[in-house]
């Protein structure tokens, strides 16, 4: 609840400070200000102060300051009689000053919070500041399913340090991923490209690669460009599993893994991939208390999931799975009834009244795991009986079905943990604001580029902003404040776009008014403002719709999570 309230407070603070800038500037220039509202829609409560009605409205999606002399919107706001005590005619300077104060106040707020973060620091991992490649994913999740990574073995190498992306220097791996994701490069065949400059040893190499559209979110429609790379990560051992190959080899907490079988290690994923395809005996190079030592280790295969039976209908679609409730060693005991339970490996709803975890009632003569398959094959039962959690028995009709045995999963493990320690990152306020401003401008340029994969559906509306802030608030106040700085920088930049209704549009209007004088088409400008208000409202609704869709897609089916828990072996 605290994270929710804090997220709403900071979101509305960004809106309030922007509108406060407009209000104070308008008051300074003697403009008529009938209303100052935080939120939209019906008023929850209001009060009057110095001729202005201050409102807190129902929908916390933004706010506004009504300035009829600056934006003539009678069709939307109604008409206001401007008192004789207020300025009747606005100069170009009046318009510019009032329009600029909103974005300026956002930047000042961002500068203040960024200064606090500079002094205190923001939490991060050591690899956050890395530009070196520590892992190349072998497969990538695309809208059409997982595919082999085409960039594996095509120029990039582990340990390469990325210096620039598409000609823009990058300072950390987050900036690298951002630049690749919003890139718009393409070749003559229309295939996506990205130009990298990497340092390999003492050499600086230019590389042109082909990024793949992957799905970073649960939704398949939110695909963005990626090379499938990850930064180098810490290989300092923080924990060792008892009786594991690592313990038997003599590895200790605090050891720094350097190489395996003479091959330099760049990340824990790199190590895990390597040991899956080698004989059981490996040679580890380790740095211990400043001294480099070599240790032999004999790997073992560790089971991580149970074997189970999967039942499908005549069309090949899953009906359900039958999963052992206990580990294999206990399945030979008598009284096997209820030792198997129902599960659903696909993201689907449970059929009929059955739920994941309901126990299968078996004939008394079935004693081991393989007996279930033999019984299904020999007797071809037309139904299965399950005991539900409330004690009742339900008989599920099978119809025409087929079944297959899914083998248990094993993995080769060394038996170590390498959890990096959190560090505090201290970036100067100007560097923070510069980084966020550059990201915002690059995103806007990609949005307008016909060759970019960035689309309007990737924009974040109020629900997405609130959701992100809520997640960060539950994680760390300082990470939330870093997002708050980015939000205010983005608000300032977006509001300075030269479009009607936005502050940048008022600057353009002031310039045209100065140049054309009485020849300025005021009525045309008023109509364009109404059109752009409708456009921005539609855009907000569209972005909010995709925010809510992402929110829904990220919530995985409970049956899928239950299935993963059912088949996992507990040590």
Which of 170, 174, 217 lies closest to 196 in space, CA to CA? 170
Residue 396 DSSP code:
E
The whole-number average pLDDT for the span 244-250 is 91
Q: For position 330, what pLDDT does the model report?
A: 42
Structure token pair of residue 132: 């070196």
**SS3 of 312-332:** EECCCCEEEEEEECCCHHHCC
19 included as an active-site residue: yes
Give percent of the chain above pLDDT 90: 24
CA–CA distance, 510 with 308 (Å, rounded to integer): 72
pLDDT digits 0-9 by tens, 497-516: 988 888 888 888 888 777 77
Mean pLDDT of 46-66: 82
pLDDT of residue 366: 67
| The pLDDT of residue 399 | 83
Q: For 310-358, how does the pLDDT look when each residue is reduced to its tens digit (9 = 90+)?
A: 998 888 888 888 988 765 444 444 433 447 888 888 755 556 688 888 8
- pLDDT tens-digit map of 5-14: 788 788 888 9
Domains of the chain with CATH codes: 2-122+456-554 (no CATH), 127-233 (2.30.42.10), 239-303+412-417 (2.30.42.60), 307-407 (no CATH)
Set 12, 19, 417, 421: catalytic member:
19
pLDDT score for 571: 45
- Residues 147-173: tens digit of each pLDDT: 888 877 778 889 999 999 998 899 889
Q: What is the mean pLDDT of residues 244-260?
A: 92
- What are the distances in angstroms from CA 553 to CA 233, 243, 317, 347, 546? 30, 41, 22, 11, 10
Q: How far apart are CA 284 and CA 102, in angstroms?
A: 59
pLDDT at 458: 78
Q: Is 263 a residue whose pLDDT tops 60?
A: yes
Distance between CA atoms of 27 and 34, rounded to whole angstroms?
A: 11
CB atoms within 10 A of CB 179: 24
Would you state the pLDDT for residue 457?
Answer: 78
pLDDT given at position 297 = 92
- How does residue 518 score in pLDDT terms, banded at 50, 70 and 90? low
Host H or E run for residue 229: strand 229-231
Which residue has better confidence, 552 or 510? 510
Round to whole Å and give the CA distance between 219 and 108.
37
**Given a cut of 70, is residue 195 above it in pLDDT?**
yes
pLDDT at 557: 52
99 with 507: CB under 8 angstroms?
yes
Q: Is the whole model's pTM more than 0.95, yes or no?
A: no
Distance CA 342, CA 322 (A): 5
Q: What mean pLDDT is reported for the chain?
A: 83
Secondary structure of 58-70 as H, E, C letters: EEEEEEEEECCCC
Summarize the confidence of residues 463-484 as an average pLDDT.
Answer: 86
**CA separation for the pair 469, 343 (Å, rounded):** 35
d(CA 364, CA 367): 8
């Amino acid at each position: 609840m605290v994270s929710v309230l804090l997220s709403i407070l900071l979101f509305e603070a960004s809106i309030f400070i922007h509108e406060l800038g407009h209000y104070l500037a308008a008051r300074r220039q003697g403009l008529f200000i009938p209303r100052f509202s935080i939120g939209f829609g019906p008023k929850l409560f209001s009060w009057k102060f110095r001729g202005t009605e201050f409102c807190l409205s129902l929908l916390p999606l933004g706010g506004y300051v009504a300035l009829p002399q600056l934006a003539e919107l009678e069709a939307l706001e109604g008409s206001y009689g401007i008192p004789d005590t207020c300025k009747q005619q606005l100069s170009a300077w009046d318009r510019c000053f009032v329009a600029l104060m909103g974005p300026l106040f956002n930047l000042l707020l961002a500068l203040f919070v960024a200064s606090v973060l500079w002094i205190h620091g923001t939490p991060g991992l050591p690899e956050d500041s890395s530009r070196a490649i520590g892992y190349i994913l072998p497969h990538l999740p695309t809208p059409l399913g997982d595919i082999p990574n085409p960039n594996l073995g095509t120029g990039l190498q582990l340990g390469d340090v990325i210096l620039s992306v598409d000609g823009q220097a990058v300072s950390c791996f987050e900036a690298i991923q951002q630049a690749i994701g919003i890139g718009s490069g393409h070749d003559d065949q229309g295939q996506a490209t990205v130009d990298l400059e990497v340092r390999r040893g003492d050499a600086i190499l230019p590389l042109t690669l082909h990024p793949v559209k992957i799905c970073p979110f649960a939704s398949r429609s939110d695909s963005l460009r990626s090379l499938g790379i990850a930064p180098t990560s810490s290989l300092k051992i923080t924990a060792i599993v008892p009786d594991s190959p690592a313990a038997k080899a003599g590895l200790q907490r605090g050891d720094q893994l350097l190489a395996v079988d003479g091959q330099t290690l760049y990340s824990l994923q790199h190590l895990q991939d390597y040991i899956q395809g080698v004989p059981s005996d490996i040679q580890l190079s380790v740095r211990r208390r400043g001294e480099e030592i070599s240790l032999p280790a004999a790997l073992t295969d560790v089971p991580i999931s149970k074997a189970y039976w999967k039942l499908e209908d005549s069309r090949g679609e899953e009906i359900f799975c039958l999963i052992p409730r206990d580990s294999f060693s206990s399945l030979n005991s008598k009284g096997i009834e209820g030792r198997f339970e129902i599960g659903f490996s696909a993201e689907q709803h449970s059929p009929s009244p059955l739920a994941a975890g309901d126990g299968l009632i078996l004939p008394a003569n079935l004693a081991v795991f393989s007996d279930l398959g033999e019984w299904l094959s020999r007797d071809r039962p037309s139904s299965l009986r399950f005991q539900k959690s409330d004690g009742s028995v339900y008989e599920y009709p099978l119809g025409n079905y087929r079944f297959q045995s899914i083998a248990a999963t094993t993995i080769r493990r060394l038996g170590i943990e390498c959890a990096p320690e959190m560090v505090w990152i201290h970036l100067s306020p100007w560097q923070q604001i510069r980084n966020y401003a550059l990201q915002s401008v690059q995103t806007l340029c990609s949005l307008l580029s016909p060759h970019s994969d960035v689309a309007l559906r990737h924009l974040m509306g109020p629900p997405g902003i609130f959701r992100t802030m809520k997640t960060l608030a539950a994680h760390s106040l300082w990470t939330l404040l870093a997002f708050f700085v980015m939000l205010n920088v983005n608000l300032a930049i977006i509001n300075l776009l030269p479009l009607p209704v936005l502050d940048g549009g008022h600057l353009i209007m002031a310039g045209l008014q100065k140049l054309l004088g009485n020849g300025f088409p005021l009525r045309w400008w008023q109509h364009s403002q109404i059109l752009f208000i409708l456009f921005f409202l539609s855009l907000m609704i569209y972005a909010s719709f995709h925010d809510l869709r992402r929110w829904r897609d990220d919530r995985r089916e409970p049956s899928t999570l239950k299935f993963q828990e059912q088949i996992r072996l507990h040590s």
